[in-house]
Amino acid sequence: MNFRASRNGRRRVETTLELTPLIDVIFLLLIFFVMTTAPQSSPLERIGVDLPQAASGQSVENDEPERVVLRVSPGGAVFEQREDGSEQAVEAPQEYLSALHAERPEATVWLFGDEEAAHGVVIRLLDAAREVGFKKVHMAVRPPG
């Protein structure tokens, strides 16, 4: 604040607004919001599968604490996608899912069937997940457009 004398002899307060700290704070907030809202690739997005398109698919939250991600390749092979991005081949899906259910009964099963995969393989995998007792089984599809 500056005090200046006016024409009539009274002291007048002159205020100034420093813009540099204000601009610094605005840029810091901008950087914070850009960094926290940047799209993060989840393990579900890193799976290399050409998903079939479905107009009736709905969005499902990806925040389940326990999930089992199974991928069906175009040739019909089944793989479990791990959180670290590695894959494990599943030779006997029924036994594998039964062991997983005994270990993690509340897990959500995600099925990523390639568009070129045989329909029967994906359906057998879906049935196996339900038969062993998993309550939540999601089929991943690509939204239209």
Say if residue 16 is in the same domain as residue 56. no
In Å, how far are 29, 52, 142, 143 from 56, measured between CA atoms? 39, 12, 10, 8
Say if residue 56 is in the same domain as residue 121. yes
Q: Which of 139, 136, 137, 125 lies closest to 94 in space, CA to CA?
A: 125
Question: What angle separates helix 93-103 from helix 119-131, to the nearest 10 degrees?
Answer: 30
Say if residue 12 is in the same domain as residue 50. no
Please, which residues have CB within 8 angstroms of residue 66's CB and are 6 or more apart in sequence? 104, 106, 107, 108
Residue 28, domain extent: 2-37
Structure-block tokens of residue 83: 């959180």
Residue of 87 and 31 predicted with greater confidence: 31
Give burial (CB, 10 Å; 0-12/13-18/19+) of 98.
Answer: middle
Q: Is 45's pLDDT higher than 70?
A: no
Say if residue 114 is in the same domain as residue 145. yes
Say if residue 140 is in the same domain as residue 84. yes
Say if residue 58 is in the same domain as residue 109. yes
- Under the banding of pLDDT at 50, 70 and 90, the label for residue 44 is very low
Say if residue 22 is in the same domain as residue 54. no
Least confident of 7-21, 75-89, 118-132: 7-21
Say if residue 45 is in the same domain as residue 104. yes
For residue range 66-84, list pLDDT tens digits in order.
888 888 888 888 888 877 7
Percent of residues, the chain, with pLDDT higher than 90: 12
Residue of 37 and 60 predicted with greater confidence: 37
CATH number of the structural domain spanning residue 94: 3.30.420.270
Say if residue 87 is in the same domain as residue 59. yes
Count of structural domains within the chain: 2
Residue of 58 and 44 predicted with greater confidence: 58
Residue of 86 and 145 predicted with greater confidence: 86
For residue range 22-36, list pLDDT tens digits in order.
999 999 999 998 888
SS3 call for 31: helix
Say if residue 78 is in the same domain as residue 130. yes
The Cα 137–Cα 86 span in angstroms is 21
Say if residue 87 is in the same domain as residue 142. yes
pLDDT at 106: 87
